[in-house]
Structure 1
C-alpha cells in the first residue's frame, strides 16, 4: 500500500480536527480497539451508504469495545453537512450528529500518511496496542461488507487472547483451529473440551480443531 501502514505497524499518533473537536489519535482510542474508515470525498454515493450502515451498527461495534472514526478529504463543515445526508439516508432525523467522528483532511496530509488516495477506500483495524491488525482496500465502486468487518473483528479479538486460529468462513460460535506452535500435550491442557485432529494423506497432524473457547 503506497505510503501506507503494514500489518503490525503502530498507528501514527496524529492530531486532527474532527466533527467532535480536536483529537490526538492514541488518546481517542484509549484502551479500546479502533476502526478507521477512509473515504475519498464527502457526498459520494457508495460512501454515504457505508457510513449509514456504520451508524446503524454502532451498538455492535460498541459491544466489541471498538472506537469508530472516519476520514474524508473535506472540511469539518462539509462533514457536518454530509452527516445530515447520512442520517436522512438511514431514515433518521437529519442532524449533524453521528455515533462516530469524521476527520478533517482537506489538505490530504493524513490520507498520504495512511496510504489512502483518490478513489480508494480503506478499512484499518487497530488493537489496544495501537498496532494495525487488519486492512482492507476497496475500489470506489464496491461497497464494504459490514458482516465481514464484524466477522473479522470477532476473529481478531478471539485469536488475540486465545491460542487459536479461525478457519475459512468461520463465524462466532463455530469451531476453531489450534495453532501449530502448540504441542499436543499443551493443547490438551489448554482446550479441555477436546481437540480433534483430521487425518490427512501426508500423515501430518496439523489440522487440529477444538470448540470455540
Structure 2
C-alpha cells in the first residue's frame, strides 16, 4: 500500500493486560540501577508521568509520597517513570524538597530511550509522541499485572482510589471475595455466586450471608 506525504502510519501500542506477567526491565533510577525482579515479593505501583518540573506532575508526586507509608504497610512500593534523564529527576526531587517541603523517597526511572514505556504502552501518540502518559500499573508480589489505569495529561490522579484499589485486590486474594462499588476496608464484600442449586439453597438458609437474592450475597470479613 502506498502512502502520500500527508499520511502517517499508525503507531501500535502494546499494553500488558490484567493477568499477564509484568514485562521485565532493568533501568537507571534516582536510586541506582533497578530491575523489576528486585521488587519480587512486594507489590509495586509502577506509574509514569509526562515530565519533570511540571505543575500537575509535581502535585501528583507529592500526593504519591503522602500515601507511600500506607502503601508500605500493604507491602507495596512506588516506582515512578518518565523519559527525563536521571539528572533531571534528581534536580526535580531536590526542587520539590526545597520549594514544597516534601522529600520524595521512592525511585524514579529515567527512561530516556523509552524502553520501559514501550513495554508498558505508556506512550499515547494521540496526546503526545514525546511524553509518557499518566499510566498506573498495579503489579502483585508474584509480578503479575493486577490493574491498569490511564489518565489524560491534563488530569491528576486520585491517590485515595489507588490506595483503595490495592486494598481491594489484596482483600480478594486473602478472602476469595469480590468488592462492590465504592467499597472501603471494613465493609462487607461480595461472595461469588453459587454454582449449584444445592449451594444456592444452603446459602439462602445461612446466617453467614446477607443476601438480596440467590446470586447477590455479601458477608463480613
Change (3 A) 1:88 1:182: farther
Once residues 88 and 73 of structure 1 are traced to their aligned partners in structure 2, the CA distance between those partners, rounded to angstroms, is 23
Deviation for aligned residue 1:207: 0.5
Q: Which residue of structure 1 lines up, in the alignment, with residue 79 of structure 2?
A: 69
Q: Which residue of structure 2 lines up, in the alignment, with residue 113 of structure 1?
A: 119
Change (3 A) 1:142 1:14: same
Q: 1:14 aligns with which of 20, 25, 34?
A: 25
Q: SS in structure 1 opposite 2:91?
A: helix
Once residues 195 and 73 of structure 2 are traced to their aligned partners in structure 1, the CA distance between those partners, rounded to angstroms, is 30
Q: Which residue of structure 1 lines up, in the alignment, with residue 209 of structure 2?
A: 195
Change (3 A) 1:198 1:113: same
Where structure 2 has 5 or more consecutive residues not aligned to the other structure, the ranges are: 1-11
Once residues 99 and 16 of structure 2 are traced to their aligned partners in structure 1, the CA distance between those partners, rounded to angstroms, is 32
Q: 2:177 aligns with which of 145, 150, 164?
A: 164
Q: Which residue of structure 1 lines up, in the alignment, with residue 6 of structure 2?
A: none
RMSD: 2.3
> Which deviations, in whole Å up to 9, do the C-alpha atoms of 1:28-82 show, x marking residues without a partner?
x120111111112111211111011111221111111101100011111000011
Q: 1:179 aligns with which of 192, 195, 201?
A: 192
Deviation for aligned residue 1:180: 2.1
Deviation for aligned residue 1:20: 0.6
Count of residue pairs brought into register by the alignment: 200
Where in structure 1 do 4 or more consecutive aligned residues deviate above 6 Å?
none
Where structure 1 has 5 or more consecutive residues not aligned to the other structure, the ranges are: 200-204
Answer yes or no: is the 8 Å Cα contact 2:167–2:185 preserved in 1: yes
Answer yes or no: is the 8 Å Cα contact 2:61–2:104 preserved in 1: no
Deviation for aligned residue 1:85: 2.6
Once residues 52 and 141 of structure 2 are traced to their aligned partners in structure 1, the CA distance between those partners, rounded to angstroms, is 29
Based on CA coordinates, which of the two structures has the bigger radius of gyration?
2
